[in-house]
Amino acid sequence: MKNTLDIVPLKSWLDTGDKPLIIAGPCSAETEDQLVSTAHLLANTGKVNVLRAGIWKPRTRPGEFEGIGSIGLEWLKRAKAETGLLTATEVATAKHVEEALAAGVDILWIGARSTANPFTVQEIADALVGVDIPVLIKNPVNPDLSLWLGALERVNRAGIKKLGAIHRGFSSYEKSAFRNEPMWDLAIQLKSLCPELPIINDPSHICGNRELLPYISQKAMDMDLQGLIIESHIDPSVAWTDAKQQVTPAALSDLIDHLNLRKAESNNPAFEDKLAELRSSIDKLDDLIIQKIGERMKIAEKIGEYKRDNNVTILQVNRWDEIIQKRTQLAEALTLSNDFAVKFLELVHNESIRKQNAIMNAQPTAEA
Ligand code: PEP
Ligand code: MN
């Protein structure tokens, strides 16, 4: 995958110094008082940069609260005027974009369900042509990096250069402690593909509960993500949407105080020397691992020739069972997880099979 994004750095449109960008506010704007009072409490913490509030809510089932609609934009305006906080809301149609822009919302975001639909993203992108506003794009509900990148590209091609991504986790069929599986590797892949793209973590929608928020927030900081978007409500127990995952502004402030902000780089030469030495040992081992896998493949190829000449099937299940059993025992003794050992062996084994398959099914070359 290639990075074709042409964006400006986060610092040029929202400078938070050496602190992470913090976006906080209720899942939904419910009443004028709920939104404005929450905004005041958040602003008073001195730790929040942007007030979030859903005005139009994408709900899984009809009949649930679908957002207060346009009137909420007036409340956002008042909250901004009284607190000085920047404001952000979700847009899912061209009409939402027009209304949010007319109401002076500072930052727009595209929700996970919209990101999953290129038609929707394109409609939003078209409505943004000629506008200079920051846009944050949540990952799609399904774990598909190209779909996420594709949405960022569509909006970028419409001329939006103040662009960011929001990592809110991915829905999964398997039961887990999280509402949406974080699948950190996808956020990391996006980060390595577009190093200049700010990625903001959304622990609220990953966790689905208050208890796990500090853990995911810290992990996001440890992954060097640029900020957090956290749902905060003046009284979460009576919230109309996502009640279980919202926190009071006081709890949010406490969560932020407990974050351990590590630096991506250090300016201690002794530390840098030690790190370079350890990294060089890792590089040597990685080289050796690749070399040894290469040697293993050569032997697998020889076995392939042998099997071909004796007309034996490629896969011999007993042999594979034996490999898995013995090697996972060794892995366990070395404190490697069983899951990792099995996945690693499967990858290596698949590559051996691919090579043997090529040998056994090669077209005979015509005799000269
Ligand atoms: C939200 O931010 O309230 C929301 C609906 O999130 P998502 O699009 O991540 O589900
Ligand atoms: Mn929500």
In the chain the domains, ranked by start, together with CATH numbers, are: 10-257 (3.20.20.70), 270-360 (1.20.59.10)
Greatest pairwise CA separation for the chain in angstroms: 88
pTM (two decimals)? 0.84
pLDDT tens-digit series, residues 37-82: 999 999 999 999 999 999 999 888 888 999 999 999 999 999 999 9
**Res 135: pLDDT:** 98
- pLDDT of 122 higher than 90: yes
Dist. CA 138 → ligand 1 center (Å): 8
138 lines ligand 1 (CB under 6 A): yes
112 lines ligand 1 (CB under 6 A): yes
> Distance (Å, rounded) from C-alpha 31 to C-alpha 188?
38
Q: Which residues pair with 137 in a beta bridge?
A: 110, 165
Ligand 1 atom at minimum distance from 58 CA? 5
Q: Do strands 21-25 and 50-52 pair parallel, antiparallel, or not at all (unpaired)?
A: parallel
- Reduced DSSP (H G I as helix, E B as strand, rest coil) percent helix, strand, coil of the chain, to 5: 50, 10, 40
Distance of CA 278 to the CA centre of its chain: 29
pLDDT tens-digit series, residues 76-117: 999 999 999 999 999 999 999 999 999 999 999 999 999 999
What token pair was written down for 184?
A: 């950190």
pLDDT tens-digit series, residues 164-198: 999 999 999 888 999 999 999 999 999 999 999 99
25 lines ligand 1 (CB under 6 A): no
Task: Give long-range contacts, CB 8 A cutoff, 24+ apart: 188-196.
Answer: 188/223, 189/145, 190/145, 190/148, 190/149, 190/165, 191/223, 191/224, 191/225, 193/1, 193/3, 193/145, 193/149, 194/3, 194/5, 194/7, 194/149, 194/152, 196/5, 196/7, 196/9
Placement of tokens 């062996």 in the chain: 345
pLDDT tens-digit series, residues 234-255: 999 999 999 999 999 999 999 9
E strand segments, the chain: 21-25, 50-52, 86-90, 107-110, 135-138, 163-167, 199-201, 227-231
What token pair was written down for 238?
A: 């009576």
Mean per-residue pLDDT, 265-270? 86
Dist. CA 143 → ligand 2 center (Å): 19
> Distance (Å, rounded) from C-alpha 94 to C-alpha 104?
16
- Measure the CA angle with vertex 38, ends 35 and 43; round to 5°: 120
The residue contributing the CA closest to ligand 1 atom 9 is 112
> What is the band of 368 on the pLDDT scale with cuts at 50, 70, 90?
very low
pLDDT tens-digit series, residues 345-358: 999 999 998 998 89
**Res 367: pLDDT:** 47
- Percent above pLDDT 90 for the chain: 83
Identify the helix (H) or strand (E) that includes residue 361: none
Q: Report the half-sphere exposure of 113 (CA within 13 A, side-chain side).
A: 9
Helices H / strands E in the chain, number of each: 14, 8
Q: What is the DSSP letter of 87?
A: E
pLDDT tens-digit series, residues 252-265: 999 999 999 988 78
CB-CB contact of 56 with 69 (8 Å): yes
**Res 338: pLDDT:** 93
Residue closest to 136 by CA, chosen among 100, 170, 163: 163
**Res 365: pLDDT:** 59
- pLDDT of 226 higher than 60: yes
Question: Average pLDDT over the chain, rounded to whole?
Answer: 94
pLDDT tens-digit series, residues 273-302: 999 999 989 999 999 999 999 999 999 999
